[in-house]
Structure 1
Amino acid sequence: MADDRGLEIGSAEVAKRMAVLRPHLVDGVPLTRVAADAGIPIRTARRWIARYRADGPAGLVRPPRPEAGKRTFPKELVELIEGMALLKPPPSIATIHRRIAGLASERGWRAPSYGSVRSIVGGIDPAMATLAHEGAAAFRDKYELVHRHRAVRPNATWQADHTQLDILILDADGKEARPWLTTVLDDHSRAIAGYMVMLGAPSALNTSLALRQAIWRKADPAWPVCGIPDVLHVDHGSDFTSLHLEQASADLRFRLIYSGVARPQGRGKIERLFRTINTELLPELPGNLRNGKPASPPRLSLAELDAAIGAYIVSTYNARPHRAIGIAPVEAWRGDGWLPRMPETLAELDALLVMVAKSRTVHRDGIRFEGLRYFDPTLAAYVGEPVTIRYDPRDMGEIRVFHRNAFLCRAVSADHAGDSITLKDIQAARVAHRRRLRSEIGERKVRIADFFPALVIRPTLPVTPAPLPSAEVAPRPKGTRLRTYSEGD
């Protein structure tokens, strides 16, 4: 038999026939009496004895029918059933059976049973069914071949991506918030080179901060991963496709490679890392989300979650053997010893990664940017000249000024010389300023309305036309919504 169930049926059949023949084979009971006692024809008993003596117990297995496992329906009927099953959306088996039975009756074919139709539909190639019902994207993700590539050495290729973590924490105002995690992973060693935990959607700045940590030397000697990669593999998120990251990649001399749109296959290693963090680390922390709800009350702050993830990366993920490569990621990154390519100074790295570049013109009162005025005596010789400024969105109190790619000075905002002001602070101040002005405009209009009502434009309400003088409103009959009028004499 072809399957386990067939083997069981065959074995039971052999045992049953052996029990019938045993009195004749063992005790010498005449075969006619054995056949009569078992209620089988004598010819059948003789045939069993002949098969047993020729092939042993295996000869007692019922031989399969020649047509077993073969469909006897016309080929075009089978293809029609398969074609109906591949429609989108797919009809039910009952619908297909009903339509096919009607067609078979018209054509004079033998109508298939419901079970036969179900068997034909079930025999359709799953890849074909997926392509027909779910489209090319689902087919590609499930059935297309994937080339599993591993970089030949550490820092040859890094991957960077974001995920929203399955945990709730408390923000600065004590409100529950779901954080995001950005990680940078070395493709060769699977070591995590850098990460960034944040609240709010991922941005180019957060990506740059994760990349800054990945590139620069860490204070913890147990986390040696650092250096400038040859290639950074990212997706098509707006933060990854930003001009700022492109400028940084050109200045640091590494290539940006974008994965295909809606093609997650190239990011499988970092996606697996995210699943490991979500299923291994976060369930041990308060506020972990299970089925969309926190399993325990959130208690962690952003800094505490950042510390927990950092400790997990250094002491667990990077330090234990990785199943795919057989050794710990940190050991795979170290290899036999080598020197990574590094920027000259941390200040240079900050200028390229963290600080955003913009073009401006030097005015007599300094450089104007984001509603602030920046000044330094060095700018006196460059009035009217175009310059490039670099600024840290986390601290808008100071900008760095470059003229023809040469550093000029650090210009400060005189109004905020001793303060740390961020770009978000400026944007919030703009919104507050607009609201205040609108409120004052409203107050002015109210005063004008008190003295000059005609100057204030009020919204006009629709006017219902009055009935004609000669028309009297007649009672409205029941069951109608129309207003009728009786005409006067």
Structure 2
Amino acid sequence: MLYQIHGFEGLKPGPRADVGRSRAIPEEVQELLLQLRAERPEASLDSLIRAVQLSGRMAPTLRLSRSSVHRFFAAQTAPAQPAGSCEPDAVAFTYPHVNDLWTSDLMHGPRLLVPGRRDGGKTYLYAFLDDASRMVPFAAFYLAENAACFQDALKQALLRRGLPRRLYCDNGATFRTHHLQVICATLNISLIHSRPHRPRGRGKIERFFRHVRTAFVPHLTQEILSDLAELNRVFWAWLEAEYHQTPHGGLNGQTPLDRFLDDQALIRPAPEQLELWLRMSVPRRVGRDRVVHLDGRLYEAPDGYAGETVDVLYDPYDPGRPVHFRRKGETAERPLRRLDLATNATLRRVARESEPVAEAPTTGISYLELIAKKFYGGDNQ
């Protein structure tokens, strides 16, 4: 009958009544996935699945497989995977042990939703990635793109995960400073820069940044973006609880944290004096009033240094840390204290006792007296 009415086409199976729906995923979970995809169109597939699992709005016994969710999204009008999402890890090389090589770079992050900021609230994510384990020794959002922010991030990474044997950085000015060269030489770290316009060997950290853009950034809320400290607090929680503890395709299913801990015995701990070695040293002239200018702040040197040029040692990212100075060519350091103009205004000045100076012999000639005598007459003039 169907053949007689519709011909050969009538013998073909008709479309399923539940086309576009998934029999492996409950209806309420399908609706939740679609809502999340509409709210976060750039989010990765894995992060959407984790969001549903953590929401408590699905049965604990339900196993939400990636392939089922992928097929479900593929059946919708929206694409299942946005452009630029994370891809399987494919690398040309991998160092055998943790801390053999760290790669560092920065990513332009989201803007803080704080009205009136002169910088527009732009953030920058500085990150370090261990080549062997994909562990991130440290990463954080900062409000500037400069060497001070990068070196603060480096300090935090070294304190948390030990010393790498090699540090591979971008060729930009932020990563190419004399101070960084001194730090690496002191800590026996081989500093390597990528060649200009040929940034090879940076695929792992670029994939990590893509993962941040698709699995973290799309889920940020106005409350999180209202403050830099809150942004970093949430980012560190995501980094430790999700990224570090999720099996990685480039590690044969092992998590970055477990792979890093496998080589824990090989890690070189950071020295106790690390923070002293990481201080920046800049020459500054001590004024006649003993005032030293440093990054827009005023400090006061002790007596005896007025007019000298000294080396000032400080943490450029944390102005609250102690600042010291030393004479050129010397190792002994002395503290510089912040100048308090109000306190100095009420200090009682004590006159210094000066050594008596022997009087020089005089000629006895008074130029003005000689003129007066000549003008008024007298003394035979």
TM-score class, shorter-chain normalisation, is 0.5 to 0.7
CA distance in 1, matches of 2:246, 2:290: 55
Q: Which consecutive unaligned segments of at least 5 residues does structure 1 have?
A: 1-145, 218-225, 288-296, 419-489
> CA, structure 1 residues 160+235, in 2 after alignment: closer, same or farther (shift >3 Å)?
same
Structure with larger Rg: 1
CA distance in 2, matches of 1:308, 1:199: 17
What is the Cα deviation at residue 344 of structure 1?
Answer: 3.0
RMSD (Å), alpha carbons:
3.0
What is the Cα deviation at residue 239 of structure 1?
Answer: 0.6
Residue in structure 2 matching 1:262, options 194, 197, 207: 197
What is the Cα deviation at residue 305 of structure 1?
Answer: 1.3
Residue of structure 2 in register with 1:329 after alignment:
256
Residue of structure 2 in register with 1:214 after alignment:
157
Residue of structure 1 in register with 2:213 after alignment:
278
Which amino acid in structure 2 is aligned with residue 286 of structure 1?
A: T
Which amino acid in structure 2 is aligned with residue 357 of structure 1?
A: S
Asked whether the equivalents of residues 291 and 301 of structure 2 are also in contact (C-alpha less than 8 Å), the reply is no
CA distance in 2, matches of 1:197, 1:417: 36
CA distance in 1, matches of 2:163, 2:251: 23
Matched residue SS, 2:200 = helix
Which amino acid in structure 1 is aligned with residue 212 of structure 2?
A: I
Residue of structure 2 in register with 1:406 after alignment:
331
CA distance in 2, matches of 1:397, 1:337: 31
Residue of structure 2 in register with 1:366 after alignment:
290
Residue in structure 1 matching 2:127, options 169, 183, 195: 183
1:30-81 deviations in whole A, cap 9, x for unaligned?
A: xxxxxxxxxxxxxxxxxxxxxxxxxxxxxxxxxxxxxxxxxxxxxxxxxxxx
Residue of structure 2 in register with 1:302 after alignment:
228
Which amino acid in structure 2 is aligned with residue 160 of structure 1?
A: S
1:233-289 deviations in whole A, cap 9, x for unaligned?
A: 0011111012222222222221210011112331110000000010111222226xx
Which amino acid in structure 2 is aligned with residue 280 of structure 1?
A: A
Residue of structure 2 in register with 1:23 after alignment:
none
Structure number with the bigger relative contact order (C-alpha 8 A, sep ≥ 6) is: 2
Residue of structure 1 in register with 2:366 after alignment:
none
Matched, 1:194 2:138: yes
Residue of structure 2 in register with 1:152 after alignment:
96
Identity %: 30
> CA, structure 1 residues 314+367, in 2 after alignment: closer, same or farther (shift >3 Å)?
same
Matched, 1:170 2:113: yes
What is the Cα deviation at residue 316 of structure 1?
Answer: 1.0
1:131-156 deviations in whole A, cap 9, x for unaligned?
A: xxxxxxxxxxxxxxx98121221111
Matched, 1:245 2:189: no
CA distance in 2, matches of 1:397, 1:230: 28
CA distance in 1, matches of 2:153, 2:322: 22
Q: Which consecutive unaligned segments of at least 5 residues does structure 2 have?
A: 1-89, 344-381
1:368-393 deviations in whole A, cap 9, x for unaligned?
A: 3347653344x63x667653211233
CA distance in 2, matches of 1:417, 1:333: 53
CA distance in 2, matches of 1:406, 1:317: 44
> CA, structure 1 residues 174+376, in 2 after alignment: closer, same or farther (shift >3 Å)?
closer
Name the structure where helix makes up a greater proportion of residues: 1
CA distance in 2, matches of 1:312, 1:148: 28
> CA, structure 1 residues 409+170, in 2 after alignment: closer, same or farther (shift >3 Å)?
same
CA distance in 1, matches of 2:148, 2:137: 17
Matched residue SS, 1:164 = strand
Matched positions, count: 249
TM-score, reference length from structure 1: 0.46
What is the Cα deviation at residue 181 of structure 1?
Answer: 0.6
Which amino acid in structure 1 is aligned with residue 210 of structure 2?
A: R
CA distance in 2, matches of 1:286, 1:162: 22
What is the Cα deviation at residue 196 of structure 1?
Answer: 2.1
